[in-house]
Amino acid sequence: MIRIQQILPNTKITHLILFLAIIPVLQFADAQNVPQASEEGKRVYEKSCAHCHGTEGRGDGSAAENLLPKPRDFTRGLYKIRSTEAGELPTDQDLLDIITKGMPGSSMPGWETALSANERREVVAYIKTFHDGFKEQESPPRQISLAGKIAYSEESVEIGKGLYTELGCIECHGNIGRGDGTSAPTLTDEWGFQTWPANLAQSWNFRGGSDTEDIFKRFIGGLAGSPMPAFEGDSFLNFGLTSAESKRLTELENRDEMTAAEEEESGQYYEKMDAAVNIALNIAEGTELSAEEQQTYTEAMKVVYEKSWHLANYVKSLAPEKRPEPAIGNNVLRSQYVTDALPAKTDAAWDTLESSHFPLVAQVIIEPRQFNPTIDSVNVKSFYNDTEVAFLFTWDDRTHTTAEEDEETGNILEDALAIQFPVKIPQGPTAPKPYFLWGGRLPVYLWQWKASAPDQVTELTAKGINNAEAQAVQSDIQAEGSYTNGQYTLWVKRALKTDDKKDLQLEPGVFVPIAFSAWDGANGDINTKRVISSWYAFVLEPVPSSKRFIYPPLVALLSVGLLLGLRGFVQRRNS
């Protein structure tokens, strides 16, 4: 039997006994101010949340080590996804919603099916006990008003676009929102961990949803604990003035000299602005407003809210309504036949094609692994003619890294992409394919591209992820790569047939397995540390006169199966 003295220093034992003796008293006292944290909430938390968020809510559970973003430390009371104003705590409904839905783009799962509605409510009450602020709240948190929403329109988006620059979203999110702003590489959260700005073109990864209302609440309230600031009243130009007054003031300020009357006029505007700011500060400090102040404030905020809806509409316009379907089934990549020469990289002909979407997942199977991927997917288009095939690959990467030395490891890191095919196309959908991680017993044929040599693709043959070699004989492959506004574009052209037995040979109407690997140098990706896809398929779409094929539906089914299998595997690995 373990005696209590063995675990605890002697002096503290008396304290402990006394402590145990008064537990009922303490509990009684607690019931008065702790927001009804029940045993049930604790049980749910310890079973489902503690291995990530830590028993004491510090975000230091056993699974936390490899995760980025880190599981939240609840003791600071910093919550990203709130319906409340900057500086305020979330509402219970906010917490319930995020626990129910989870946080896309992070390891925070949704608990809609795993926990009952009641269990979720209980766990909300429980996590609130980790931060004293919830107990000390004197009044309910101020919520962001969603009244007066401005409908989506071209004009609204255009106004929003101007505000995106004026307010400085661009600093972190980049010119057109791909998360490639000049401040992006140096951002850290309040716990000191590296953080990337959201890619606004991939709104399916937003933690708090991609509805216009969600976006609106995010930049008004900010994402507490992250570098993403709140854009409150006086973050906006000339807060407190009507649009007409604001325009007039800007005009006056731009004059070289003002007349006495104009001086006075602008002086009045400044006073009006100071008054509005003062009221906003009074509200933040919890001071009661007079009816007149309330009125002034409402008017000032009307302008801000209007601008905010335009901005939200603009941000909304940057991403498709939802994540594109992956390139399987009806969306399989079909290279389109042209009789003439294949279009060059910047040819407008590419715009006539829909791209096929290949989601990428972190490689967590083989060491070194990547648990925190930054590249989401690759989009692909393709044309072919009687002799050649051309592909256009695009993928978003927040940083343009061409051979930089990693300070910690001395490794040379750079952005790269590899496109993988089997050497021999499996005869029929049930024939075995090479192992999707760069082959094994069955070899794979690869096109390797690196950001430091953007106009070059190297052919590799691989029999395993750590067993790849550049081919001794390189076929004539033309390539052109470029990086703009957080996105790579790579154009590749090769003959349908080559003389090399180690190369893939292409023929219209035959479904060819294809898979991808991508590296983000700035994220420490190197060798096996990368993002990957499982096998997908593509086909040189036969010219209409050709005979019909029986494979497509089967191949499609098989790809779905594989994809789901890989996802499941990766998720199991992750958790």
Q: Which entry of another protein, ligand HEC, none binds 98, CB below 5 to 8 A by partner kind? A: ligand HEC
Cβ–Cβ < 8 Å for 222, 308: no
Residue 99 contact, options ligand HEC, another protein, none, Cβ 5-8 Å cut-off depending on partner type? ligand HEC
Nearest to 443 by CA among 477, 415, 471: 471
CB of 452 to another protein, least distance (A): 21
Among 182, 243, 290, 387, binds another protein (CB under 8 A): 182
Does 220 interact with ligand HEC (rule: CB under 6 A)?
Answer: no
**At its nearest, how many Å lie between another protein and the CB of residue 506?**
45
Q: Exactly one of 280, 300, 304, 315 binds ligand HEC (CB under 6 A); which one?
A: 315
Q: Does the protein bind ligand HEC through residue 236 (CB under 6 A)?
A: no
Q: Which does 76 bind (CB under 5 to 8 A by kind): ligand HEC, another protein, none?
A: another protein
Is residue 188 involved in binding another protein (CB under 8 A)? yes
CA 209 to chain CA centroid, Å, is 11
Q: Which of 228, 361, 364, 539 binds another protein (CB under 8 A)?
A: 228
Nearer to another protein, 18 or 151 (CB): 18
Cα–Cα distance measured from residue 394 to residue 220, given in angstroms and rounded to the nearest whole number: 32
By CB under 8 A, residue 7 contacts another protein = no
Would you count residue 224 as binding another protein (CB under 8 A)?
A: yes
How, if at all, do strands 416-422 and 511-519 pair?
A: antiparallel
- Does 127 contact ligand HEC by CB under 6 A? yes
Nearest to 229 by CA among 182, 197, 276: 197
Radius of gyration for the chain, computed over Cα atoms and rounded to the nearest angstrom:
29
Q: Which does 49 bind (CB under 5 to 8 A by kind): another protein, ligand HEC, none?
A: ligand HEC
The DSSP string of 131-174 is -HHHHH--SPPPBPP-TTPPPP-HHHHHHHHHHHHHTTTHHHH-
Residue 206 contact, options ligand HEC, another protein, none, Cβ 5-8 Å cut-off depending on partner type = ligand HEC
Q: Look at the block and give the residue holding tokens 């209302």.
A: 213
Binding segment for another protein among 19-27, 45-53, 324-332, 492-500 (CB under 8 A)?
A: 19-27
Contacts of 209 (CB under 8 A, 6+ apart): 101
Tell the residue number behind the tokens 């948190």, with chain if given: 141
Task: Compute the distance between CA of residue 17 and CA of residue 200 in angstroms, rounded to an integer.
Answer: 56
CA angle 420–422–423, rounded 5-degree value:
120
Question: Which of 170, 278, 265 is CA-nearest to residue 233?
Answer: 278
- Residue 2 binding another protein, by CB under 8 A: no
Is the four-CA dihedral 494, 500, 506, 512 of positive or negative sign? negative
CA distance 390 to 340: 12
Give the length of the chain.
575
Q: Considering only residues 50, 52, 78, 465, which one is a binding residue for another protein as defined by CB under 8 A?
A: 78
Using CB distances below 5 to 8 A depending on partner kind, what does residue 162 bind out of ligand HEC, another protein, none? none
Residue 185 touching another protein (CB under 8 A): yes
Question: Is the Cα torsion angle 124, 126, 131, 132 positive or negative in sign?
Answer: positive
Residue 77 engages another protein in binding (rule: CB under 8 A): yes
Among 37, 98, 437, 558, the residue binding ligand HEC under the rule CB under 6 A is 98
**Token duo for residue 349:** 């002909």
240 touching another protein, by CB under 8 A = no
Which does residue 341 touch among ligand HEC, another protein, none (CB within 5 to 8 A, set by kind)? Answer: none
Contact between 311 and ligand HEC (CB under 6 A)? Answer: yes
Contact 434, 444 (CB under 8 A): yes
Binding of another protein by 407 (CB under 8 A): no
- Residue 278 tokens read as 């003062």
Smallest distance from another protein to CB 281, Å: 5
Q: Omega before 434 cis (within 30°)?
A: no
Contact between 167 and ligand HEC by CB under 6 A: the answer reads yes
User: Are the C-beta atoms of 168 and 236 separated by less than 8 Å?
Assistant: no
Contact status: 490 vs ligand HEC (CB under 6 A): no
**CA–CA distance, 455 with 424 (Å, rounded to integer):** 27
Residues 494/538, Cβ–Cβ less than 8 Å: no
**By CB under 6 A, is residue 99 in contact with ligand HEC?**
yes
Say whether residue 183 binds another protein (CB under 8 A). Answer: yes
Binding at 237: pick from another protein, ligand HEC, none (beta carbon under 5-8 Å per type): another protein
Of the candidates 68, 237, 442, 496, which one interacts with another protein according to CB under 8 A? 237
- Enclosing H/E stretch for 517: strand 511-519
Closer to ligand HEC by Cβ: residue 72 or 493: 72
Strand-pair partners of 382: 391
Binding residues vs another protein (CB under 8 A): 12, 14-16, 18-19, 21-22, 25-26, 76-78, 86-88, 166-168, 171-172, 182-183, 185-188, 190-192, 222, 224-225, 227-232, 234-238, 277, 281, 284-286
Binding residues vs ligand HEC (CB under 6 A): 48-49, 52-53, 63, 67, 69, 71-72, 79-81, 95, 98-99, 103, 106-109, 111, 123, 127, 167-169, 171-173, 183, 187, 195, 197-198, 206-208, 215, 218-219, 223, 226-229, 231, 311, 315, 575
